[in-house]
């Protein structure tokens, strides 16, 4: 059997020293996370993060930089995740748009509020990515390239 990590995307979105997080149902109960989700077939990473932010928050997201790329596994024998985290700006909120079924709501939280309740975070990557962002860690989107040959399906 070939081992493969799950490829995911996430968005660190900051306004007025607060970060946009989603509250979501997980197998471990309600948790807080950045807007995030899985890369879908025939989708590039930038399209994936835009889609996930829209589906989970009803905001349109424009990625500006990559904050980090992380390989994470909760425990041995659990799936591994290769997470691409972006930062950028949001615009055009649609308050009437239904959110993904797992999403309870969105919250704007300070770094201190996020750090105060680590047991509520979906993974340690939530706070790590906020701290990476706050430290100024940024990489150009031009690092990412996608090449799809969709003509031979």
Mean pLDDT by 10 residues, the chain (153 residues): 89 98 95 97 96 98 98 83 97 96 96 97 96 98 87 64
Residue 82, domain extent: 6-152
Tell me, what CATH number does 111's domain have?
3.90.79.10
Residue 1 lies in a domain: no
Place of tokens 């989107």: 141
Give pLDDT, residue 96: 95
Q: How many domains does the chain have?
A: 1
Residue 13 lies in a domain: yes
Residue 131 lies in a domain: yes
Q: Please indicate, yes or no, whether the overall pTM of this predicted structure exceeds 0.85.
A: yes
Give pLDDT, residue 78: 80
Give pLDDT, residue 152: 64
Q: Do the beta carbons of residue 45 and residue 9 sit within 8 Å?
A: yes
Q: Do the beta carbons of residue 14 and residue 65 sit within 8 Å?
A: no
């Amino acid at each position: 059997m070939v081992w493969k990590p799950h490829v995911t995307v996430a968005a660190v979105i900051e306004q007025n020293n607060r970060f946009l997080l989603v509250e979501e149902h997980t197998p471990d109960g309600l948790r807080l996370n950045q807007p995030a989700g899985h890369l879908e077939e025939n989708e590039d990473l930038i399209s994936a993060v835009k889609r996930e932010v829209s589906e989970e928050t009803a905001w349109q997201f424009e990625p500006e930089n990559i904050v980090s790329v992380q390989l994470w596994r909760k425990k041995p024998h659990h799936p591994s995740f290769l997470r691409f985290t972006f930062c950028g700006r949001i615009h055009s909120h649609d308050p009437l748009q239904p959110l993904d079924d797992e999403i309870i709501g969105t919250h704007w939280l300070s770094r201190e509020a996020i750090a105060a309740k680590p047991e509520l975070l979906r993974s340690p990557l939530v706070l790590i990515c906020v701290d990476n962002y706050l430290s100024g860690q940024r990489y150009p989107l031009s690092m990412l390239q996608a090449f799809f040959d969709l003509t031979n399906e």
